Structure 1
């Protein structure tokens, strides 16, 4: 038989609060209309001391008008790769109320060609986004002087 203390502990749960405090007015946020826009926004917000050192995975979060809500760094890895957890990607997009996202990561080697893992991850996240009504608009691979767009290449 449960004691009164056991019954009380059944009702002790944490409350979850979601907040979002933009630092800029909607009219001041950059708008993404092309892969070049996405690249320039990402590149200008990348730690250039690390772009040829280690692989980072980031997402651009966009509202319905394709204005940037924010950039979120999903992971930091080594020279040859990093782990991009879809749960972390979508929990961030949902918390920000993003309508769409653009995936991005850098290739420290300077090679712009997507790996098979890049292609599979992109498909997986695009499929997951379709269930949540969060469009995956592109996946941009960045190097220190160029970029590769999955959308431009018809791969998304």
Structure 2
């Protein structure tokens, strides 16, 4: 009697490759020293045509010495929201061997006050980071000219 397992071809499986390629020498990477320096890097790397139009969520991936490994765009949503898949967020962090993350998202309305949804997702990400030894250093809500920092407000 043959089972389903006897008919499976175990050679036909997908290969998974994890790669992080840095184009910048470690000595040339900018360091995050404050919420203000994180804001400057975020605004410089945000699409100026989208920051006041649609909501996006990005992360800054950091080394042990808070040097920027890269910025990863997690999601693009609509006028009043976007979704964050925490599994994808941490897969990017693990791929880059990041030890710290700064969460970023914009509010096209210009209002930087965090919503309850912003607070909830931040808490979930902080808790998940603890299991992986990846520190959530801050979460910035940005506009082109101002920002709110969860860390500066002791809300992490």
SS in 1 for 2:80: coil
Partner of 2:45: 45
SS in 2 for 1:10: coil
Aligned equivalents of 1:147, 1:112: Cα separation in 2: 6
For these two proteins, the number of residue pairs brought into alignment is: 156
Aligned equivalents of 1:122, 1:100: Cα separation in 2: 14
In the superposition, the TM-score normalised over structure 1's length comes to 0.95
Structure 1 residues 8 and 85: alpha-carbon distance in aligned structure 2, compared to 1, 3 A threshold: closer
**TM-fit CA distance, 1:19:** 1.4
Partner of 2:65: 65
SS in 2 for 1:94: helix
**TM-fit CA distance, 1:10:** 3.2
Q: 1:75-115: per-residue Cα shift (whole Å, max 9, x none)?
A: 00001000011011011101111001000100000001000
Query: Gapped runs of 5+ residues in structure 1?
Result: none
Partner of 1:82: 82
1:104 aligns with 2:91: no
Moved over 3 A (4+): 5-8
Partner of 1:139: 139
SS in 2 for 1:141: strand
Aligned equivalents of 2:20, 2:2: Cα separation in 1: 41
Query: Gapped runs of 5+ residues in structure 2?
Result: none
Partner of 1:94: 94
In the superposition, the TM-score normalised over structure 2's length comes to 0.95
Give the superposed CA RMSD. Answer: 1.6
